[in-house]
Chains A and B, each alone.
Chain A
């Protein structure tokens, strides 16, 4: 599929208040194109609450329900139940940041997943709380500067996509702002799956990560090229790597060193070689964890190794 195959119809309108180079808004635009008109969007407190614009205006051209920070999955459950009861056909989509997903909203997310609500939950992961001015979240990587981790975060991030796999929901996928057609395809697929679906997008953020705003797509790609972000799908109990991550696993593409990716971002500028080493180790650990997952459930991908 080519980028030109993505429909021209816009549901995230120009003039929204996102920063230049914002991956979140770029990906939301793509997600809305993939689902189309009959979308009900649920948005918790986040950058999206801001960039959608102020009343009486709105930059989002589908029905939107803004909700509190911790309750997007439960609000969406109520909306879906109500629409089903009324016989209204719609895809109910949560569009939440990593703060709303990894931290304060995790309980509601896990419960909605366990209930297998017919919802598509999309987390745009910019690896911190942007809306409140760059604070750490559970998705912030080791070493990253934020305004609550001045000398760099001391812990590695957790992984909610993997938690969703552990919930054994019908569909889990990861995507990156570096590959919009891949995102589009995964959302199209998710749209047609019944039950709880979780898609997590790595969404670089120029002011939070401290890189020039014209390098967002590049950041999204470098993350995958260096193995800091891994693209995969989990569908009906089968795990498989996708896109460049698959090519890397199959040895068709070489994994780049993380240092290049880290040094492109001001938030990692202070890292020592020891810190970078810790991140390298973390990346290796994640790959071998996912390799186990792939080997355990899907023999075809079992040979991948990094």
Chain B
């Protein structure tokens, strides 16, 4: 174990190295570029024993990752925004192919209006591709989550790709102290299939409607099973490294709370400050941070929010024509609960607009009635 002052991107790159990644295929895009640069440096200097394929696009990056994973290697890539959108076809492919690719995504807005800053719209719009999605709130968490993501993704009951998301610049380019080192947490990746020349298999050929529905159902069920595996992984990681890094969700001062802030990513860490401030003012406020967005931990969300009167959900992304994606999911999870709190949705921080704890505080106190926290409150 070693303590370093590093950016979120460096944390992701080091985690890939420490996870024993064997093949990396990647393409640069702000703000995830430094992940690729750092890996290239480590591979060239011999610090990282991996094959690096410097492809010409993100579409190719993901295709190469899928190919490498399907032929038995542990693989890694990183991207953002337009790069992720460009991968879209292959994101679906990776999930149906059951290749446990792990990808770091430094969240960024999508153009036009070229905007390189934090916005979760890029990964939220890949919600239904079948990927596991974790959203980090600190650099330590980025490091730990990449490592844990392999354990979850490669579990035989899961076998799904996973993205580790973190707000661009807010985390990707900000240096924070991070403890690295994972001890014996990960074993070598053993793929459930291998390239076998004596008993050759054809992978991904035409699948009729007699089978396709079962394939999709299996992806669906595996997401469900992943919830338990995620909890187990979180525990195993803590007992082996001594670090607690929430993988499913995090409850903060929620036990006696009357109002819960529900947030995701970096806004969730800012919300903690708001919670402490509001508590000092005598308001019983707590935080529910959603770490894992897919699979969505509905049961745990219900359990966490049933006892509050009000839940203020803050999204850093929107689904035009509807509402913030987190808001939708929280409402849907609580629909069948008898003790459903009042649920209020707020949208904040699009395109990197600063979200301060003061703005969150105001939102909790009933301001921003139209649902848009668009003022930077300093």
Contact = CB atoms under 8 A, between A and B. Distances in A.
Interface of A: 37-38, 40, 42, 49-50, 52-56, 58, 60-68, 70-71, 73-79, 81-86, 88, 90, 107-108, 110-111, 114-115
Nearest to A74: B60
Interface stretch (B172-180, B195-203, B284-292, B340-348): B195-203
Contact of A78 (B56, B67, B197, B200): B67
Contacts, number: 155
A54 B56 contact: no
Interface centre among B61, B72, B200, by most A CB within 10 Å?
Answer: B200
Nearest to B203: A65
Contacts of A82: 22-23, 51, 67-69, 71-73, 75
Contacts of A50: 206
Given A68-B93, A79-B67, A82-B67, A74 B25 contact: yes
Interface of B: 22-23, 25, 50-51, 53-57, 59-61, 63-73, 75, 89-90, 93, 195-197, 200-208, 211
A63 B201 contact: yes
Given A53-B205, A85-B23, A71 B68 contact: no
B70 A85 contact: no
A81 B21 CA distance: 13
Given A66-B202, A81-B64, 6 more contacts: A52-B205, A62-B200, A75-B67, A77-B67, A82-B72, A82-B73
Nearest to A44: B63
Contacts of B93: 67-68
Contacts of A68: 63, 89-90, 93
B68 A78 contact: yes
A29 to B, nearest CB: 16
Given A65-B204, A82-B22, A85-B51, A107 B56 contact: yes
A71 B63 contact: yes
A78 B66 contact: yes
B68 A108 contact: no
B23 A78 contact: yes
Contact of A85 (B54, B73, B200, B202): B73
B195 A78 contact: no
Contact of B73 (A37, A63, A86): A86
Contacts of B205: 49, 52-55, 58, 64, 66
Contacts of A49: 205-206
A56 B206 CA distance: 9
B271 to A, nearest CB: 40
A64 B200 contact: yes
B19 to A, nearest CB: 15
14 contacts: A49-B206, A55-B205, A68-B63, A68-B89, A71-B63, A74-B63, A78-B53, A79-B67, A79-B195, A82-B51, A82-B67, A82-B71, A90-B197, A114-B56
Contacts of A79: 67-68, 70-71, 195
Contact of B204 (A66, A73, A74, A114): A66
